[in-house]
Structure 1
Amino acid sequence: MTVSPRACARLSLLALALLAAGCTTTPRGPVTLNLVAINDFHGNLEPSKYTYTSAATGKSETLRAGGIEALSGALAAWRKEDKDLLFIGAGDLIGASPALSSMWADEPSIEAMNLLGLRLSSVGNHEFDQGRKELLRQQAGGCDSPRPGKACRLSPDYRGARFTYLAANVLDSATGKPFMPAYRVESVKGVKVGVAGAVLQGTASVAVASAIAGLDFIDEAEAINKTLPQMRADGAKVFIALIHEGGRTDESPDQPGCKGLTGGVVDIVKKLDPAIRLVITGHSHQGYLCTVDGRIVTQADAAGHLLSRIALKVDAASGAIADIDVKNVVMDPAKFPADPQVAAYLAGVKERSRAALARPLGKLGTATVARKANEAGEAPLGNLIADAVLAATRAQGAQIGFMNNGGIRKDLETSDAALTTNFGHAQAVLPFGNTLVVLDLTGAQLRRLLEQQWQRPSASGATILQVSQGLTYTWDEQRPVGQRVVPGSLKFNGAPVDDAKTYRVVANNFLAEGGDNFPEFAKGTNRVDTQIVDLDALSDYIAKNPGAGGAQAGLAPAARIGKVSASK
C-alpha cells in the first residue's frame, strides 16, 4: 500500500500527540515555588487587634488585622502573580474561636478555608477540643456530631474540609498507625513537594483527656522523619514540615533570619532529617522568620494577623533548594480588598448570627474587664470567672473556684456607653463550652496544686491559676520550686488552710482532668460533672451582679494573690 506524503504527515503528528499524552514533562533548571502559610487562625473570621514592632521602622504599630476578607484579598492578589501558589497551614485553624464561628461548630471557619483555597494543614491541639469523632467529621463532613445543637445548623448539608489535615505523630493506640494522613505530596509547577504534619507531643497536657482517649502522641521529629522514604517513593524531591509547636523571640515578626528563637520547636527542628529545609510552625502565637540549624523556621502570629509568604527557588530536576525567601505580611484590610465571594459568605454568617450574639447579658463595672495579669499573676477577668463558676455550683457544695489563664481567650468588653455586655462578648472570652466539675481536695492537696503552677515543662513559664474570692496566698519566686507558697499565707475566708481538712472546689472539666499540667486536680475525689457550661455560669453571674468586673466587686490588684518582690 502506498501512503501519500500528506497522510504520512498526519500520522506523524498523531504519533507525536499520542506520545505527548502519555508523558509528563518535568521542567529543567531553576523554578520558583510560591507558598503561603497560616497558623492558629482560631476561627477569627473578622479582624482583631494586632500590635507588633516593625523591623523596618523599629516602631510599635497597632491596627485591626486579619479576618477572611483581608486574607482573601491578599491570596487573590498573589495568585495573580502565580496561579500555582500553594496555601498551607500549621494547625489550630479551629477551636478557641469567637462566637461567630464556634456557635456553628466552627463550620464557618472550615468553609472559609475552603473558599481561601487551603490545601493542607497539620492538626493543632485545638483541633481535638471536641474529640476525635468531631475532628474526623469536620474533615469529612456530615452531621453526626457530639454537638447536635451546633453542627449542621448553619447549613444542613455540611460537607467538610476540602483541605487535608496531617497528623504524622498522632497514632491510633489500637493499631499503632496514624489515625489521619501523615503526609501528602503536591505537584507544583511539575515539582513534587512532600509535606508532613505533626502536633506537639505534649498535646495531652493541653487537651481534655477524654477528647484524646485512644490516641498516642509520639516524638514530632521522629514521626516526620519516618515519612521521608514514603514521600520519596511517591516522587517527592522537596520536603516541608508543618509542626504545631513553636517558640519565642524578641525579634520583630518581619525580621528575616532571626537568630534568637527559643522554645519547644528548636530541639525538634535540630532532629529533623537534613532534607527538610523549611519548617512552618504554630502554637506559640508569635510571628518570626528564623534560622535554626541551617533551616528556615517560620510562624505567622495568630488569628490571621499575618500570612507567611515563602518563595523556594528549586532545581526542578534534582529538588535541590538554592534559596528560600520568606516574609511575614500584615493582613491589613485596607491594603487587601476582599474577594466578593468571601465577603458575601461572611455577610451571610453574620446575618444568621446577629440576634444571638447581640443578646444583652448585663452591665459591667468597667468598659473592659482585662485578662492581663498583674505581677503576682492575678487578672480582673480571671477573678470574675472564678467567682462566677463558684456561684454557679454553690448548690453542689463548692467553696473555692479555679480558672486557668489559657482558657480565657479575650478581654470581656462592653457593647455600649451604658457598659452593657452581650452574649457575643462573653462567648469570645470562654469559647470552649467546658462543663464545671465539683470535687474534693484536702488542704495538703491544695498546697500541692498551687505549687504545680511553677512545676512546668522546661519550654513554658509559670501558669498562675485564677482563684475565687475567699482564697488568698502569697508566693515568693526566690524560694525553691515546690516551696514557693509562703508558709502561713494560704488562707480560706481568713483562716489558715488545714492540710487535713477537705475543701470542695470547682474547675472546668479540662482542669479537673489534670489539664494544663495540673495533675493534682485529677486526684480529687467525690467528683461530679455538673453539666453546667462555664459560659452559662459567667452569663448568669453578670446578669445577677450589675457592675461585675469593677473594683467594687473586690477586684483590686493583688486582692487574692500576693507576690514577694525580689527587692525584699
Structure 2
Amino acid sequence: MSRLRPMPRVLGALTLALVTLAGCSSLPREPQPVAVNIVAINDLHGYLQANPFSYKDPQAPGGVRKLAAGGIATLGGMLSQLRQQDPQLLFIGAGDLVGGSPPLSAMWADEPTLDALRQMGMKLSAIGNHELDNGKAEFLRQLNGGCQSSRPDKACQFRPNYPGSGFPYLAANLLDSDTGQPLLPAYRIEEVRGVKVAFVGAVLRDVASVVSAKGMRGLQVADEAQSINQLIPELNAKGVNAIVAVVHQGGATPEPFDKQDCSQLSGDIVDVAKRLDPAVDVLISAHSHQGYLCKVGPLLVTQGNAYGHLLTHLTLQVTPGQHRVTSIQALNLLADPARYPQDQDLAKLQQEVEARSNQVLLQPVGAIAASPIARRADNAGEMPIGDLIADAHLAGGRANGAQIAFMNTGGIRSDLALEPGQTQVNYGQLATLQPFNNNLIAFDLTGRQIEQVLNQQWKGADDANILQVSQGFSYRWDAQRPLDSRVVPGSLRLNGKPLQADGNYRLVMNGFLADGGDRFSLFKSGRNRSDLGLSDLDAMLQYLKAMDQQGQPVGSSTSAGRIQRLN
C-alpha cells in the first residue's frame, strides 16, 4: 500500500486559496440597496404665503414656539437644497393641495398654487376631498387645463391660458359613476437608480361626508385599503421594488411632529394602516392637519401638518431586483423661512399674485371688539370665532325668520386678528376665515330633531365635531353619557326658554351643512327650505359693517358659554 505524500505547506495554502476564490466567483453577489428620497407635502390648501404655526418647545418662552412657517418661496428653497444632495429626489403630494384656500389663491381658481407646485417639480399627488369642492368637471379642468369653468370670474384670470396642473392626480378608489370607470389612474411607477417605486393613491372612504352633494355628483368611492390591496398582484407583476401608499385620510397623536416612530397614533388612518397588504412599505397620510412619524405595527405612517408648515422627507433603502425595503429614515422638516434660502422665481410669483390681489383683499370692512378672535375650542367645544360666525349667519337669516344658527368647525379656516397698526379687519382676512362661499339655507326642525342632530356630534370617545351655535341658544352635554345621547335632555334653551319637543324652530346654516355635511345627516330632514341667496362670507361682511356703524363692534377673545360640558 502506498501512502499519499503530503503537499508542501505553502503550496497547500495557495491551492486552498485558489479553490476558495473559484467557489466565491460562482456565488451570486447580494445586490446593495440604493437610496430613494421622497419629499411629501399634504393639505397645502393654496397657502402661497407663510402663515402662523406653533408647537411645543421647552426652550421657547412659555414652552411654545410660534412662527410664520411655509410659503412657496421657502418650500421651493427647501426642495432646491434637498436636490443638491439628491437630484433624483421625488416630490409628491397627498391631497388637498388646493381648495379651502385663502383668497390670495382662491380668487384665481387656485391656478397660482398649481403653477407653484409645477415649478417645484411635483411628480404626482393623491386626490383630497377639497380638490372636489367645485365638482368633477372643475377638478378635471384644473388637472388638464383650459378655461371652460363653472367659475368664469376666476378661471384663466391670472394667466389667459391655464395649462393644467402639470402632474397627475391618483386615486385607486374614486370611480366616475357616469362611466363606471376610475376617474383617475390608481398608481404611478417612478424609476430611480434602477429601482421601481410604485405610488398608489386613495381618498378617504367617507369623502361624501366632507364634500357637498354638488361636489360629489357623478362620483363613487370605495374602501381605501381594499382598493390598494387589489392592486398588489398587478404591481408585483410589473416588478416594482417598493410600494408607497398615499392616502388622503389621517389621524392624530399627542406626540411631537418630529418624534421618530411615535406610538400613540389614533384615528381613521390607523384602521386603514392595519388592513393594508404587508407588501405596502410606507403609508403617507393627510387630511387631519397633524404632523407625525408613527408606526402602526411594522408600518411607518407619516403626515406633515398643513398649509406648508412641514415637508416630510423619507429615505428608502431599496434593493434592486427584489421587492425589498431594508430601512426607512423619516423626518418632518419645519419650513422656517429664516433657515432656508428663498426660491427667487417662486418669490416673484408670490409678489405678482399679491400685487394683483391686494386692491380687493386689503379693503377695510369694520372694527372688531377683540383681537385675536380665536378658533381654539374651550373644554365644551365652543370657539370664540365660532360664536361670531354663527351670530353673523343668524343676522343674515333674520329676515327669513331664522331663530338659531349652526356652524360646522371644518368650515372655520383661521383666527381673526388685527395686524400691528390695523384698526379694521379687511376683506382678505374674512375671506380666509370662510373661503367656501356657501349660500345660507333656512329650514324648520322640531325641538326633538334639534336634540337628535346635536347628538350626532360624537363619532367616538375622542372624535367630537362640535357645532358652533348662535346667541340666544344654549345646551349642556355630558361626557359620561353614551355617544348617541350625550346632550342632556331638557337642557336646550332658546332665549332662556326650554325648546319644546314638538315645537317648530327655524334654523339657518351654510348649504354644505344643510345638505348633511360633516355627518349631520338629520339636517337633510328640514322642512320649508329656502336658499337665502346670501353667501356665508357676505353675511359676515354685512354683520361686521352694520355692528361697527352702530358703534357696537362684535367679537370676543373668549367663548360665550353657550355650550356647557358636564364631566
What TM-score, normalized by structure 2, do the two folds share? 0.90
1:139 matched residue in structure 2? 143
Aligned counterparts of 1:259 and 1:464: Cα–Cα separation in 2: 27
Q: Taking structure 1 as reference, are residues 232 and 447 closer, same or farther at Cα in structure 2, changes over 3 Å only?
A: same
Aligned counterparts of 1:221 and 1:75: Cα–Cα separation in 2: 30
Q: Taking structure 1 as reference, are residues 555 and 284 closer, same or farther at Cα in structure 2, changes over 3 Å only?
A: closer
RMSD (Å), alpha carbons:
2.2
2:544 matched residue in structure 1? 542
Count of residue correspondences: 537
Q: Structure 1 residue 59: deviation in Å?
A: 5.7
Aligned counterparts of 1:235 and 1:349: Cα–Cα separation in 2: 44
2:231 matched residue in structure 1? 227
Q: Taking structure 1 as reference, are residues 220 and 550 closer, same or farther at Cα in structure 2, changes over 3 Å only?
A: farther
29, 34, 39: which one pairs with 2:32?
29
Aligned counterparts of 1:452 and 1:549: Cα–Cα separation in 2: 39
1:355 matched residue in structure 2? 359
1:481 matched residue in structure 2? 483
Q: Please tell me whether the aligned partners of residues 210 and 518 of structure 2 are also in contact (alpha carbons under 8 angstroms).
A: yes
Q: Structure 1 residue 56: deviation in Å?
A: 11
For the residue of structure 1 that corresponds to 2:214, the secondary structure is helix
Q: Are residues 1:383 and 2:407 paired?
A: no
Matches of residues 316-327 of structure 1 in structure 2 within 5 Å? Answer: 316-327=320-331
409, 432, 437: which one pairs with 1:428?
432
Aligned counterparts of 1:524 and 1:560: Cα–Cα separation in 2: 23
Q: Can you list the C-alpha shifts for 1:46-74, whole angstroms capped at 9, x where unaligned? A: 11121223599996432211111110011
Aligned counterparts of 1:188 and 1:423: Cα–Cα separation in 2: 47
What is the identity, as a one-letter code, of the residue corresponding to 1:541? Y
1:330 matched residue in structure 2? 334
What is the identity, as a one-letter code, of the residue corresponding to 2:438? N
Q: Taking structure 1 as reference, are residues 369 and 165 closer, same or farther at Cα in structure 2, changes over 3 Å only?
A: same
Aligned counterparts of 1:152 and 1:431: Cα–Cα separation in 2: 19
Gaps of 5+ in 1: 1-26
Q: Are residues 1:372 and 2:376 paired?
A: yes
Q: Are residues 1:155 and 2:171 paired?
A: no
Q: Are residues 1:51 and 2:24 paired?
A: no
Q: Are residues 1:271 and 2:275 paired?
A: yes
Aligned counterparts of 2:33 and 2:486: Cα–Cα separation in 1: 59
Q: Structure 1 residue 190: deviation in Å?
A: 2.3
Aligned counterparts of 2:103 and 2:178: Cα–Cα separation in 1: 36
Q: Taking structure 1 as reference, are residues 459 and 38 closer, same or farther at Cα in structure 2, changes over 3 Å only?
A: farther
225, 244, 255: which one pairs with 1:240?
244
Q: Structure 1 residue 556: deviation in Å?
A: 6.2
- Between Structure 1 and Structure 2, whose CA radius of gyration is higher? 2
For the residue of structure 1 that corresponds to 2:231, the secondary structure is helix
Matches of residues 113-512 of structure 1 in structure 2 within 5 Å? Answer: 113-415=117-419, 417=421, 419-454=423-458, 456=459, 458=460, 461-512=463-514
2:526 matched residue in structure 1? 524
1:89 matched residue in structure 2? 93
2:73 matched residue in structure 1? 69
- Residues 47-56 or 353-362, more deviating: 47-56
What is the identity, as a one-letter code, of the residue corresponding to 1:50? F
For the residue of structure 2 that corresponds to 1:159, the secondary structure is coil
Q: Structure 1 residue 259: deviation in Å?
A: 1.8
Aligned counterparts of 1:226 and 1:211: Cα–Cα separation in 2: 27
Q: Taking structure 1 as reference, are residues 144 and 494 closer, same or farther at Cα in structure 2, changes over 3 Å only?
A: same
- Residues 478-487 or 268-277, more deviating: 478-487
1:9 matched residue in structure 2? none
Q: Structure 1 residue 28: deviation in Å?
A: 5.6
What is the identity, as a one-letter code, of the residue corresponding to 2:562? R
Q: Please tell me whether the aligned partners of residues 132 and 212 of structure 1 are also in contact (alpha carbons under 8 angstroms).
A: yes
What is the identity, as a one-letter code, of the residue corresponding to 1:106? D
What is the identity, as a one-letter code, of the residue corresponding to 1:154? F
For the residue of structure 2 that corresponds to 1:361, the secondary structure is strand
Q: Taking structure 1 as reference, are residues 321 and 547 closer, same or farther at Cα in structure 2, changes over 3 Å only?
A: farther
- Calculate percent identity across the aligned residue pairs: 47
Q: Structure 1 residue 520: deviation in Å?
A: 1.0
Aligned counterparts of 2:483 and 2:84: Cα–Cα separation in 1: 56
Q: Structure 1 residue 29: deviation in Å?
A: 3.1
For the residue of structure 2 that corresponds to 1:69, the secondary structure is helix
Q: Can you list the C-alpha shifts for 1:332-368, whole angstroms capped at 9, x where unaligned? A: 1111111111111111111111111101101111122
Aligned counterparts of 1:459 and 1:230: Cα–Cα separation in 2: 39
Q: Structure 1 residue 477: deviation in Å?
A: 2.0
What is the identity, as a one-letter code, of the residue corresponding to 1:38? I
Q: Are residues 1:80 and 2:84 paired?
A: yes
What is the identity, as a one-letter code, of the residue corresponding to 2:86? D
Aligned counterparts of 1:28 and 1:245: Cα–Cα separation in 2: 36
Q: Please tell me whether the aligned partners of residues 384 and 560 of structure 2 are also in contact (alpha carbons under 8 angstroms).
A: no
Aligned counterparts of 1:487 and 1:393: Cα–Cα separation in 2: 27
For the residue of structure 2 that corresponds to 1:184, the secondary structure is strand
What TM-score, normalized by structure 1, do the two folds share? 0.90
Q: Can you list the C-alpha shifts for 1:383-427, whole angstroms capped at 9, x where unaligned? A: 111111121122222221111111101011224545310011101
Q: Taking structure 1 as reference, are residues 416 and 63 closer, same or farther at Cα in structure 2, changes over 3 Å only?
A: closer
Q: Structure 1 residue 255: deviation in Å?
A: 1.2
Q: Please tell me whether the aligned partners of residues 37 and 307 of structure 1 are also in contact (alpha carbons under 8 angstroms).
A: yes
